[in-house]
């Protein structure tokens, strides 16, 4: 259990670091690529929200868009996008709750997803253990049932096995 908590903490620190290291959506930076894909996929912005990028010293706010120089409040991937990856109207010129995800942080989204899958894996693990216990109990029941019908050394109780063997030998000879 402590390993899961340590892994969870590591993911938390890693996401915070990715936000702090974010440069721009068109940079060749790994942190920017990861955060851009994460924000677009999960419709979120920053760690807690878009204001987290105020602490990103590398965030390049100056962008050229349609021949106009803009100074962005939040990264462009914080804009809402349709299924064809087109930005919502007015974004990134103006960020609003209607056209962007600046008020929805990525950590709460990821945290909920993480807990969901840990729960599913935990339930599956418990199910496997219960199935193994059921198989073990059935095996014990079957063996005990067979042993109660057989005596020591696998001899059937109440019958003379010697006589059975003699009859079998006589049938074989004939």
Is a pLDDT exceeding 60 seen at residue 33?
A: yes
Per-residue pLDDT tens digits for 12-29: 999 999 999 999 988 889
| 89 touches 83 (CB < 8 A) | no
In the chain, where the domains are located: 2-111, 118-173
| 100 touches 80 (CB < 8 A) | yes
Please say whether the structural domain 2-111 has been given the CATH code 3.40.50.300: no
pTM: 0.69
Q: What is the DSSP letter of 14?
A: H
CA 56 from centroid of its chain's CA atoms = 28
Per-residue pLDDT tens digits for 72-115: 999 999 999 888 888 888 899 899 999 999 999 999 999 999 99
Element holding 106 (H helix, E strand): helix 106-149
| 23 touches 32 (CB < 8 A) | yes
Structure tokens at 145: 């049932």
């Amino acid at each position: 259990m402590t390993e899961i908590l340590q892994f969870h903490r590591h993911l938390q620190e890693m996401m915070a670091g990715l936000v702090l290291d974010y440069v721009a959506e068109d940079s060749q930076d790994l942190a920017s690529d990861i955060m851009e894909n994460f924000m677009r996929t999960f419709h979120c912005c920053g760690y807690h929200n878009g204001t987290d990028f105020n602490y990103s010293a590398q965030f390049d706010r100056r962008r050229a868009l349609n021949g106009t120089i803009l100074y962005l409040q939040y990264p462009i991937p914080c804009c809402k996008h349709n299924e064809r990856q087109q930005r919502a109207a007015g974004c990134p010129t103006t960020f609003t709750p209607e056209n962007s995800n600046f008020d929805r942080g990525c950590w709460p989204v990821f945290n909920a997803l993480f807990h969901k899958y840990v729960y599913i894996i935990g339930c599956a693990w418990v199910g496997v253990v219960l199935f193994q216990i059921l198989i073990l109990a059935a095996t014990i029941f079957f063996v005990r049932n067979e042993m109660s019908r057989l005596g020591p050394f696998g001899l059937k109780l109440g019958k003379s096995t010697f006589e059975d063997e003699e009859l079998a030998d006589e049938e074989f000879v004939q």
